[in-house]
Amino acid sequence: MSLAEPASLPDLRLELAPPDVEAPLAVAVLLADRNRATILAILREGPHCVCELAAALDERSNNVSNHLARLRDAGLVRAARPAADTRRVYYERDEAACTAALAQLNNLLEPIR
Amino acid sequence: MSLAEPASLPDLRLELAPPDVEAPLAVAVLLADRNRATILAILREGPHCVCELAAALDERSNNVSNHLARLRDAGLVRAARPAADTRRVYYERDEAACTAALAQLNNLLEPIR
DNA sequence: GAGATATATCAGCTGCGACTGACACACTCT
DNA sequence: AGAGTGTGTCAGTCGCAGCTGATATATCTC
């Protein structure tokens, strides 16, 4: 294995430059909240409006609205008002953006080669 | 698209059961810290000891040690003491565990089909 | 041996993000 | 028109995760 013991230990390498992790970090921060993660999971099945999500999460709708705004700003979900009742706002996942987000996490977690 | 407007809007569905997101959430929480994300990125290249990581991150070693303990508890990294200097602790990624963690995030982000 | 080095643990502090509550606005229904 | 519904914004509060500083242990170097 890669931790096999050499006869002599290499010198300390204190000059390592930290790699840029901004993009995967931003995705992880978005997913690292139970309500946002659950919202993304629920929306896999199809679009839902804010009050449906709030009921499923047992959270106030303004709180859910805030989380949806975060996800929308990141591009992971889209909003649309149905013509039949323009009070409601239905949210659906942007699958392309979700796939792109997953690719960022891939960069962090997959082996180097 | 899936948000095409039907003639009539479906009734509100307020009985939705929230799906279980514990596993992907735990992974996301681990990755949602800049230091931990950077540690995982640095360790892609190979094993490093705590003080090397602390230097690269410009953080105190006790802080880095704490983050490494979190990653180790989650199984994402392993620790080993080299016989040549047992003061140091070299950490390396557990690639199988990282791949498994990525699969959890996959469950959350990939399209339903 | 003395002093320096490397890691880890722990109590305490602090900043940030999630939640609350109040409010605003637009629309639907009767 | 008036009441009710659905969503969004914002200031304020609060809990918690990350950082600090002190301390402990063990090892290496001289």
pLDDT tens digits, one per residue of A35-68: 999 999 999 999 999 999 999 999 999 999 999 9
* Cut 0.85: pTM above it: yes
Residue of A nearest to B46 (CA): A2
**The pLDDT value given to residue A113:** 75
**The pLDDT value given to residue A6:** 52
What are the domain boundaries of chain B?
22-109
Contact A31 B108 (CB under 8 A): yes
pLDDT level of residue A1 (50, 70, 90 thresholds): very low
**The pLDDT value given to residue B10:** 74
Q: What is the mean pLDDT of residues A94-113?
A: 96
Region of A22 (left: φ > 0; alpha: ψ -120 to 50; beta: rest) is alpha
User: B22-109 has which fold?
Assistant: Arc Repressor Mutant, subunit A (1.10.10)
* Cβ neighbourhood burial of B71 (10 Å; 0-12, 13-18, 19+): buried
Higher pLDDT, A1 or A41: A41
**Is the pLDDT score of B31 beyond 90?**
yes
**Is the pLDDT score of B109 beyond 50?**
yes
Tokens for A2, please give them. 């890669």
Tokens for A94, please give them. 């942007």
* Probe site for chain A from B8, B31, B33, B51 (most A CB atoms < 10 A): B31
Residue in B21, B85, B90 closest to A3 by CB: B90
pLDDT level of residue B5 (50, 70, 90 thresholds): very low
Of the listed ranges A9-23, A74-88, B76-90, the one predicted with least confidence: A9-23
Sequence-distant (6+) residues with CB within 8 A of B3 are: A47, A78, A80, A82, A90, A92
**The pLDDT value given to residue B6:** 52
Whole-number average pLDDT of chain B: 92
